Amino acid sequence: MTKKTIFIFFFLCVSLFYNTKRSSRLDWDVFGYYLYLPAKFIYDDIRLEKKDQWLTPLIDKYKTTDNLYQAYKGPKDIYVMKYTMGLAYVYAPFFFVANVSAPILGYEQDGFSAPYQWMLLIGSMLFSLIGIHYLFRILSLYFSDQVVLACVALIIFGSNYFVMTAYDGLMPHNFVFAFFAIMLYQSIKWYEDQKTKRVFIIGLCLGIAALIRPTSIVVAVIPALWSVGDFDSLKKRIALFIKNIPQLLILGGVAILVLLPQFIYWKSVTGEWLFYSYPDEKINLLTPHLVNVFFSYKKGWLLYTPLMIFALIGFVHLYKKYRQLFYPIFIFIIINAYVISCWDCWWYGGSFAQRPFVESYVFMAFPLAAFVEKMLRQKLLIAAPVFLMLAFVLYLNLFQTKQALNGVIHT
């Protein structure tokens, strides 16, 4: 059994331990992401016109939410789902298995009984493992096994990736992380062989990630600029794209097809093909909350995930040794952090630390790995204190995660 297999098995056990502590997984925001499925395939009521007959009793029975903030009356006086349907896509295979098995196992076929809860838990854990697997594969293309194992362990147990997978795995970030990792791996391979099947996968991942969290569309800069380290390589990249326009059209077409059901749904319930479905929350690109997002006691990213300080330092080594990786990652991180900071609710409630950064750890793993690689080449007198600090931030993350789950730290 390889070290990677042992590591993944250990994470699976930890994740199962944390998830079995939850009485319900289909609640609050997750309830909103999931609602499309029972509404459409069990109750045939995607407009929630008969919600008092089925939805209200289910909310009372399973305590999924205090109030139905996940949907509201739109411009046509018809209920509109607040969240886009990307996660419903991902939940769907596990939902259908549960829907078939529930009556066989003696449970209610209502969308929320135990088989539905457990199948979606299995789905979230599966996507966690897929994300970790691809992160290993990607990093192994550039770094030694020792560096990769250390980096992945730090990302998982030393950051809020841990709580967003082992405890809140049905939230968007776990799944988007996996789609980002798959997309990056396929992008790297496409630049080697230009196989059409890879653009299908890239387009699918990009489309679903954007449908789960629309701001995820900024990740497109990663596959577009990957391995572009200077002006000459940029010119070659543009020439490569021009040569492969048909494949790029396929990529865009796949992404649009993924988004199409959402447009049709909006047209049906609002009369508009494109609809902003967050009535009380806005993103304002002119008023970023960068200082709060990075440093505030309430939810500062670097305050509650200090591991990322080492990753940011690692950008220096990444620039010196892996410049072709530095530019796409650095550009994405800057744009992504800015967009995250422009949300009115900049603290992104219901989580430990800054959860919208979690999916970007696929890319932050590179400067972190560069930092670890640099430290492994230093003298023991320099490296030992640094690795002790890394061990401490890993412990601190697990300790503060426990505090957050117990209500000691603001979530």
For residue 79, is pLDDT > 50? Answer: yes
pLDDT in tens, 87-136: 999 999 999 999 999 999 999 999 999 999 999 999 999 999 999 999 99
Q: Is the pLDDT of residue 23 over 60?
A: no
Q: Is the pLDDT of residue 389 over 60?
A: yes
Tell how far CA 176 is from the center of its chain.
Answer: 3
Residue 1 has pLDDT above 60, yes or no: no
Mean pLDDT value across the chain = 95
Q: Whose structure tokens read 């117990």?
A: 406
What confidence tens digit (pLDDT) does each residue in 120-132 have?
999 999 999 999 9
pLDDT digits (tens, 9 = 90+) for 48-60: 999 999 999 999 9
Residue-wise pLDDT tens digits, 202-239:
999 999 999 999 999 999 999 999 999 999 999 999 99
Span 299-321, pLDDT tens digits: 999 999 999 999 999 999 999 99
Residue with token string 């966690």: 128
Could you tell me the residue ranges of all domains in the chain? Answer: 3-405
What is the arithmetic mean of pLDDT over 40-69? 96
pTM above 0.85, yes or no: yes
Q: Give the pLDDT confidence of 230-240 residue by residue, as tens digits.
A: 999 999 999 99
**Please, which residues have CB within 8 angstroms of residue 81's CB and are 6 or more apart in sequence?**
32, 35, 36, 70, 71, 265, 277
| Calpha distance 402→411 (Å, rounded) | 12
